[in-house]
Amino acid sequence: MFNILVVEDDKSTKKLMEVILRTNGYNHLAASNGLEALEIMDSHHVDLIVLDIMMPKMNGYELTKELRANHDDIPILMVTAKQLLEDRKQGFIVGTDDYMIKPVDEEEMILRIKALLRRAKIVSEHQLLIGKVVLDYDSLTVIRDNEQQMLPQKEFYLLYKLLSYPQKIFTRLQLMDEIWGMDSETTDNTVNVHINRLRKRFENYSEFEIVTVRGLGYKGVRKDEE
């Protein structure tokens, strides 16, 4: 289930979009301007933004600029009036984005949203996204908001494995085999220790959890889709 944030100051358009999104199975969040949008994004995970260009307070361009400056490459579907299109779209529509001309057509909007989400998913292939938390496989890094930490290899791979298959129970032996290698000499207690360290490291992260299954092993639990 994806969370889509609609940033739009016109009440009736906003309402219309809400209906479209809900009937197509998306979660819907709403803001009336850029500032509100940023606030909502602080407290909610957002997969995509539908953004009206013309707005009071902080307009669409400013919001986009703000987001990109923070290296947030969330996909943005811009909505613009026809006459504004040519001149402006050049510098603001980046690779992850798309745009639509008002008035919006239901089918078109859903198609574009689908395409954008699909692309975002591809780009994040080397990554795991859990709520607002990103696990980046290539850099062994866990990022939440502007908090970022690089984990030791074994710890990272362990966490990545568990969260790649949420709810699946792994025995200590399986984990040893997959992360340490089949012929590792090390005792399986070292898995305990690593799990312990991970739990401590992320104890204030509500997005996921490592659960012990007594007599069997561990499983990763994701709580991002509530």
Partner DNA sequence: GAGGAAGATTAACTCAAGATAAACTGATTA
Partner DNA sequence: TAATCAGTTTATCTTGAGTTAATCTTCCTC
The residues of the shown chain that bind DNA, judged by CB under 7 A, are 152-155, 172, 180, 184-187, 189-190, 192-196, 199-200, 212-217
If one asks whether residue 173 binds its own copies (CB under 8 A), the answer comes out as no
Q: Work out how close the CB of 138 gets to DNA at its nearest, in angstroms, rounded to a whole number.
A: 15
Q: What span, in angstroms and rounded, lies between the C-alpha atoms of 93 and 45?
A: 22
If one asks whether residue 168 binds its own copies (CB under 8 A), the answer comes out as yes
Q: Which stretch binds its own copies (CB under 8 A): 4-12, 27-35, 72-80, 166-174?
A: 166-174
Span 61-120, contacts to its own copies by CB under 8 A: 69, 71, 95, 101, 105, 107-108, 111, 114-115, 118-119
Q: What span, in angstroms and rounded, lies between the C-alpha atoms of 192 and 182?
A: 18
Residue 110: both structure tokens together? 């859903």
**214 and 169 in contact (C-beta within 8 Å)?**
no
**73 and 47 in contact (C-beta within 8 Å)?**
no
CB closer to DNA, 121 vs 199: 199
CB closer to DNA, 83 vs 189: 189
- Phi, psi of 127, rounded to the nearest 5 degrees: -135, 160
Residue 170: both structure tokens together? 């792994």
Residue 9: both structure tokens together? 């100051």
217 binds, among its own copies, DNA, none (CB under 5 to 8 A by kind): DNA
If phi > 0 it is left, if psi is from -120 to 50 it is alpha, else beta; for residue 90 that is alpha
Q: Residue 217: what residue type?
A: G
Q: Give the binding site for its own copies (CB under 8 A).
A: 69, 71, 95, 101, 105, 107-108, 111, 114-115, 118-119, 122-123, 125, 138-140, 150, 152-153, 167-169, 211, 213-216, 219, 225
